[in-house]
Structure 1
Amino acid sequence: MSASKCRKSSEVRIEPSLNKSEQEFVARRRISVLQSLQKLSTPCNQENVPNIALLGSGGGQRAMVGLLGCLDQLDKAGLLDCVLYLSGVSGSTWCMASLYQEPDWSTKLQTVKDRIFSRISGPAVSLKDKFAKLKKYFKGKDHFSLTDVWAVLAVTTFVKEIDEHTLTDQHGHNNKDPFPIYTVIDKTCKQRNNGDPWFEITPYEAGYSLSGAFVNASTFGSQFHQGSRKSQLNEFDMLYLQALCGSALADELEIMKMLWQKIKELFQQKDLVLEEYKKDQQERSQEAKGKEKESALGINLQGGFKVKLPEINVFPFKDSNSASVDKCYQMLMNLVDMNLAVLNGKDPSALDESIRAKLNDLSGGQSQRILDKLRPADKTLCMKNYTKELCNFLTDQINLWPFDAWMYICTCMDLWIWGRNYNFLHDITDEAVPSTLPKGDTRDYIDAGLLLNSPYFSVLRKERNVDLIISLDFSEGDPFLTVKDAAEMCRKLNIPFPQVNIPNQDIEKPKDFYVFKGQNTPTVIHIPLFNVVNCGDKLEDWRKKYRTFQGAYSTEMITDLMNVAGKNISNCKEKLMEEISAAIGQKTCSC
């Protein structure tokens, strides 16, 4: 298929220009920005209104709360309405998702902020609600992955809600707010260091920022072939989006430990698990009876021909009694504990012996084949193979909710599958699309923080014409890593970006405001969260108190973090105004 024909008939948009809806949004927003600048007594006209992008880095709940504190102070300083784009990575997207639930949130930020504060400092999502949401994801998606599990078990721990709104729900609801851009990366492009890893998601489109290949946000995740949609799946909700964007809280080992622990916490509620199992068993039984009745009545179900109905095994156990179900339950709990033991360097031998005994009982002594495949358990046990073999066996024995999901999750843990969705560029032919992207009918999307912990490349698209970038950095570790890496990546990609030079004495003790400028580049303001200005001589104490990988914050921790983050704005209001005025002046000269 030629590129021109592909574009003409395709539901995929392959061109660098902005989506029409974004263009209209930006035009309206620039009028609001002009009005805001006039209120601040800053000389400006419609032609030289600067395009200002505010970036929120990753950093888990620290980033979520930190961004909220900064936005609060931007609002109080009268600067929030000067922002055209708001883009986030990882934890910052959790804050964004909460804000954009509310139509025109920036016009009533104090009320919205109080509501978010009350929620994230309040009670946790109930296990029953988590089970119900996990079931929705498991039974309603073509590609269930660890991202769905992370959404239900981890993200809800921090955001304290199950947000089932969608991005397209926001159409027309946020006309007075900055334009939101959520960012992730393409896992394969990152690993192979080719193609275009930078992927953005807005209320209107989802796609590759630098290649300019996009699909409607409501159809992202649906099945495509050569630019045509083959099936329409339900649009992903905001809880899933927050998990897609925010899963790089630590290294892989720590994530695995956290996931196994969260799985244990959910499924150790035995009464709830067995209640769900019985409910699903009854639903399968009713389904079978209904189909048997239809068959007996000779109802034509397909193309005018009678369909031979498949047999539905309502009682999957050869010995379908509570004792058998209990043995399967205990084996799965032991399997979870074995994985945790091995990850924590403990001896899992006793758990292995328990599993072997139950396997033998369940099969009436006929389980030698599976027992032979399970290698003797010790501290160096390969748990991936052990987990796979045991789940394969149990799948043959019991295949009802929630046991089926439980075993599938174990498989996803083994294969480490995150963010899997249909590839909307599958087999598409267009010279503008890197040759690696159309390969395969699925792609995996992961937290952008695994490549660059700030969403620079979403706002560096030349079509967005950004003049000033304000980077709020909530990262752990080197407080300048994101801006240094962005500069180096841009140099390699020939994308205009100012040179970044950091004084040696500032590496360990950063200040609260840095400005980087270049010729024909956007101006970049870099603001580290914890610095010697807002933390004084207790810089290390603040860093230790707010680690990326820890549980949900207390009310006091949230309050203190919002305050210290807000100081980075209130202390720098005049400097921010100077750089905004300078951006206006530079734009005036170029006009």
Structure 2
Amino acid sequence: MQVEESPCNLLSVRVIGAKNLRQADIISHSDCYISLWLPTASSTRFQTKTVQNSKDPVWNETFHFMVQRKVKNMLELSIYDKDVCSQDDQLFTVRFDVAGLPLNEKVLMSFKLNPEYHEELEVEFQLHNSSSAPETIMTNGVLLSRQICCLNFEVQKKKAKKMKKGLSLMVKGSHEAHQEFDFDSDNCVRPLCQSIFHYAKYKHPILEVKLPKKGLDYVFGPCSHNQEEGSLNVEINSLPNSKKITLAENNKFALHVKTEDCQNNLDVRLGYDLCPQEQDFLRKRKNIVAGALKKVLRLEKDLQEHEIPVVAIVTTGGSTRSLTAFYGSLRGLQKLNLIDCASYLSGLSGTTWTMGNLYKDAYWSRKDLNEQINETKRHVTKSKLDCFSIERLKYYSRQLHQRKQEGQKTSCIDLWGLVIEYLLNDGKDSHKLSDQQQAVNEGQNPLPIYSAINVKKKYSTLDFKEWAEFTPYEVGILKYGVFVRTEDFGSEFFMGRLMKRIPESRICYLQGMWSSILSFNLLYFWNLSHGSEDFWHKWTRDHIVDIDEEPPLPSRPHELKTQLYTPAGPFSSAFRDMLIDRFSVAQYHNFLRGLQLDNSYLENDMFRRWKDTVLDSSSPNQLTQSEEYLILEDTGFFINSSCAPLLRQERKVDVILHLNYNSGSQTEPLEQMCKYCREQGIPFPSFELSDNEKEHLKECYVCKGAESPEAPILLFFPQVNDTFRYYKAPGVKRSPSEMKDGEVDTSSNCTPYSTYSLTFSSEEYDKLVELSEYNILNNEHLILQALRTAVERKIRRNNPSYQAS
């Protein structure tokens, strides 16, 4: 993260007029006005007057903004047709990058809205120096935090008796936004009430006060006071800093305010490096991995630090099926002494249930897993009828009420999390994700990483999703390089500062979100049956095109092209909503809220590595930093693999054991991951099988990524019943009476291991555990071969003359 002083500039925008505007209806020419929105400089949408019944309206109005040149400032000029009886019609929006403007020059521009019909919008810009002091900003090259201030206010009540009307205070764009003081209730019987607003210093902050309409004896000079409406407005930056003043007063109350600069230290971590705790974990884990590799590979000498490969175990989801099968895979790896060779263990959906159980025990990987497997078996095979008993429903209601009282936003996903708690436990599970630090603080287990995706309303998963990761140390969104302590996830943040601490969620609520089967929409089911939503893109995508401007400005660094957004009609919008609205989503307070995009964010290598949404370069104002809540759901709604967090180049993963528990196609998750990495330019092995090979899958495939030397070695384990039919252990054939034990149906339409099956019989559970274990044990030679190759790669990179024995 860089800290620097950066001056602001003054931007003047004169909206001159438009020519040959289209008609919004067939009755008359449009009654148009322009809305100006520059959210990085002001929280207010400004608006011109309305010009009646004209296709060539002239406004000739000027608006002023204070802009930070280090920020990506996208001005949106929207033309609306005023309607008296219905909502105003939006004709189109021009998105203009202020970074293209020269300093201290007037620029008259004509935006070509529709060259065929000669539609144009004329606007004059002027960007010049500001006399304000430089602003302290902190940036990681993608997102930056700006200087924030506090507005402290006190409402002093002068009379003991109750008053019929109170005060309403608003600062748009602040963290608190709006606060009320009701003199006619018991919450204001004290003589003095105090509160605070946090706001960005250079965003034209305005304090709006709704007052009793009776007169005031005193109003502070710069205030705008309307006695008839009972309103009081003041530009906060016009108030003296660090000095308490009386803003308004009469014989019943007095309103005192004081502005102060806030602390500059951030409570989020802006940066793409691994956090110090994970780096410390890796140093400790390397000693364990080095000893384990020496043992399993039968090395004659100890590995040096630079020779130790980073090994990761990656899973796919699948509800109770993946919960069960993952235990079997881990037991196989444990028998081969390979768990101690791994530094990371990542999961999604049902495998997060396994991981949640494992990491309650700080030394689980050093103990016999049979005890955990048998305990989970008891819960998987138990009757689920009590899940919705009257007593259980009352418990759910109490827990959700408590969660809401704590400040969390609740949904059906939280109820699903409580159901998971019942499925895996006898009673309440108080375990939290941060508690798992005890299981890794000595490097004694692989570091668990849980994955999810952040999505957006009004957009399909194909068009908008952002990888999120959860570890016992931090929660972050990979694309932006912004992380918070796991204990603070779910708390309220503004501009990188912690505003309100909310108790950390119990892990069952996170498991509900990580495996949020209720976050489906119609497009999801279309994808399941057809494999692609391309057919629906004309209904679900925004209509955005690049447009010409005259005169063309000289190209400047980091400048985005001017674009025209045309909103869909009411029928298309309704149809889009029907297709992509999700049944239920998990929402958590957005720890990116208030942060702004660095002007050069698109040139940042780390951002470009994960840049894949339709909004990344077309609509930066709409990206996640502008949202109040994160919308998080199961990674399986995009790609059913927990691989993405392991592909952060800072983790330097050398070997991936990809354990597949997907229903349906066993190769699809890996094929999707390969395609995604190829499109994103992320080093990753290729994986291609013919249709015939897919019909006869092997137990393990090794992909070394020869075409990409930086790619990790990947071992792929599909969930197949191949030689297990005939062998109860590697090299040990089944007797005729034991052949039925090898019959495990994992793929047919009648399989007992459906994603939606939460209960298995005791026999079904044991068979799935044994199959998954067997497939690991039977391919020991391939795993050891991959580990040996990874060690040789590491040695060769530091010693090019090295020759493998």
Match of 1:517 among 690, 695, 704: 704
1:122: how far off?
4.1
Question: 1:450 Cα shift?
Answer: 0.5
**1-side partners of 2:456 and 2:523: how far apart?**
22
Confirm whether residue 118 of structure 1 aligns to residue 386 of structure 2: no
User: 2:469 matched to which residue of 1?
Assistant: 200
CA contact (8 A) 1:427 1:438 kept: yes
2:777 corresponding residue in structure 1: 570
Distance 2:796 2:381 in 1: 49
Deviations along 1:154-202, one digit per CA (max 9) or x if unpaired, are: 5633666542211122223333110000111012297365676100011
Conserved 8 A contact 2:319-2:758: no
Which amino acid letter does the alignment assign opposite residue 660 of structure 2? D
SS of 1:549's equivalent? coil
Q: Residues 349-375 of structure 1, C-alpha deviation per residue, up to 9 Å, x if partnerless?
A: xxxxxxxxxxxxxxxxxxxxxxxxxxx
1:442 pairs with 616, 621, 629, which one? 629
Q: 2:716 aligns with which of 501, 526, 543?
A: 526
User: Aligned residue for 2:401?
Assistant: 138
The Cα shift of 1:570 comes to 0.9
Q: 1:109 to 1:517 in 2, by over 3 A?
A: same
Give the aligned partner of residue 220 of structure 1.
489
The CA deviation string for residues 211-270 of structure 1, in whole angstroms up to 9 with x for no partner, is 3211111111111111111111110111111111112389658999xxxxxxxxxxxxxx
Contact 1:143 1:420 in 2 (8 A): yes
1:318 equivalent in structure 2:
none
Give me the whole-angstrom Cα distance separating, in 1, the residues matched to 2:483 and 2:463.
18
Q: Aligned AA for 1:520?
A: E
Structure 2 residue aligned with 1:232, among 478, 494, 501?
501
**Corresponding residue for residue 138 of structure 2:** 3
Alignment of 1:83-232 (within 5 A): 83-110=342-369, 111-122=371-382, 124=384, 127=389, 128-141=391-404, 142-153=408-419, 156-157=422-423, 162-174=428-440, 175=442, 176-188=444-456, 191=460, 193=462, 197-232=466-501
1:184 and 1:159, CA in 2 relative to 1: closer, same or farther beyond 3 A?
farther
Provide the secondary structure at the position in 2 that maps to 1:47: helix
In the TM superposition, what whole-angstrom CA distance separates every residue of 1:31-59 from its partner, at most 9, and x where no partner exists? 11111112224333332111000011101
* C-alpha contact (below 8 Å) 1:14/1:212 kept by paired residues: yes
Distance 1:576 1:144 in 2: 44
Give 2:311's aligned residue.
52
Whole-angstrom CA distance in 1 between matches of 2:756 and 2:305: 45
Quick one: distance in 1 between partners of 2:585 and 2:305?
Answer: 44
Residues 514-567 of structure 1: CA deviation (Å, up to 9, x unaligned): 111222211111101124333579675654231111231122211111011111
State the partner residue of 2:277: 21
Higher strand share: 2
Residues 97 and 254 (structure 1 numbering): CA distance in 2 closer, same or farther, change over 3 Å?
farther
Q: Which has the higher helix share?
A: 1
Instruction: Measure, in 2, the Cα distance between the counterparts of 1:248 and 1:515.
Output: 31
Work out the CA distance in 2 between the residues paired with 1:177 and 1:93: 16
Is contact 2:521-2:582 (8 Å) kept? no
Alignment of 1:306-345 (within 5 A): none
Judge conservation of contact 2:589–2:628 (CA < 8 Å) in 1: yes
Q: Which residue number corresponds to residue 561 of structure 1?
A: 768
Whether 1:418 and 2:585 are equivalent positions in the alignment is yes
1:273-292 pair list within 5 angstroms: none
**Other-structure match for 1:488:** 675
In 2, distance between residues paired with 1:249 and 1:535? 36
AA partner of residue 516 (structure 1): C
Amino acid at match of 2:353: W
C-alpha change, 1:239 and 1:171, in structure 2 (3 Å) is same
Q: Choose from 681, 692, 716 the match for 1:505.
A: 692
Q: Is the 8 A contact 2:317 2:641 kept in 1?
A: yes
Distance 1:84 1:131 in 2: 42
Equivalent of 1:452 in 639, 645, 652: 639
Q: CA deviation at 1:456?
A: 1.1
Cα distance per residue 1:435-478 (max 9 Å; x no partner): 41101211210000000101111100000000001000000111
What is the CA–CA distance in structure 2 between the aligned matches of 1:479 and 1:449, rounded to whole Å?
A: 14
2:486 partner letter? A
Displacement, 1:118? Answer: 3.4
Q: CA 1:240 to 1:557, structure 2 compared with 1: closer, same or farther past 3 Å?
A: same
Determine the C-alpha separation between the residues in 1 that align with 2:690 and 2:429: 43
SS at match of 1:534: helix
Unaligned runs of 5+ in 1: 257-413
Between the aligned partners of 1:140 and 1:36, the Cα distance in structure 2 is: 44
In the superposition, the TM-score normalised over structure 1's length comes to 0.69
After superposition, residues 256-405 of structure 1 pair within 5 angstroms as: none
CA drift of 1:430 comes to 4.2
C-alpha distance in 1 between matches for 2:430 and 2:518:
23
Offset of residue 575 of structure 1 = 1.1
State how far apart, in whole Å, the 2-side matches of 1:428 and 1:460 are: 25
In the TM superposition, residue 123 of structure 1 has moved relative to its aligned partner by 5.8
Q: Determine the C-alpha separation between the residues in 2 that align with 1:3 and 1:255.
A: 39
For normalisation by structure 2, the TM-score amounts to 0.51
Q: CA separation of 1:235/1:12 partners in 2, compared to 1, >3 Å: closer, same or farther?
A: same
Of 107-116 and 450-459, more deviation after overlay is shown by 107-116
Q: Name structure 2 gaps, 5 residues minimum.
A: 1-134, 147-263, 526-580, 602-606, 608-615, 727-741, 799-805
**Bigger mean CA offset, 550-559 vs 469-478:** 550-559
- Structure number with the bigger relative contact order (C-alpha 8 A, sep ≥ 6) is 1
Cα RMSD for the two superposed structures: 2.8
Q: Which residue of 1 aligns with 2:10?
A: none
- Please state how far the C-alpha of 1:76 moved relative to its aligned partner: 0.8
Contact between 1:120 and 1:159, CA under 8 Å: does it hold in 2?
A: no
Aligned mates of 1:416, 1:123 — CA distance in 2: 27
CA contact (8 A) 1:511 1:531 kept: no
Tell me, in whole angstroms, the C-alpha distance in 2 between the residues paired with 1:546 and 1:249: 19
Cα deviations across residues 139-165 of structure 1 (Å, max 9, x unaligned)? 323301111111123563366654221
Q: What amino acid sits opposite 1:553 in the alignment?
A: F
- Separation in structure 2 between the aligned mates of residue 472 and residue 588 of structure 1, nearest angstrom: 27
Bigger radius of gyration, 1 or 2?
A: 2
How many angstroms apart in 2 are the aligned matches of 1:494 and 1:522? Answer: 14
AA aligned to 2:515 is: G
Identical amino acids, percent of aligned pairs: 26
State whether residues 724 and 771 of structure 2, in contact with CA within 8 Å, keep that contact through their aligned partners in structure 1.
yes
Q: Distance in 2 between matches of 1:81 and 1:505?
A: 37
| Preserved CA contact (<8 Å) 1:249 1:255 | no
Question: CA contact under 8 A between 2:462 and 2:638: conserved in structure 1?
Answer: no
Offset at 1:116? 3.0
User: Structure 1 pair 194/525, CA: closer, same or farther in 2 (3 Å)?
Assistant: same
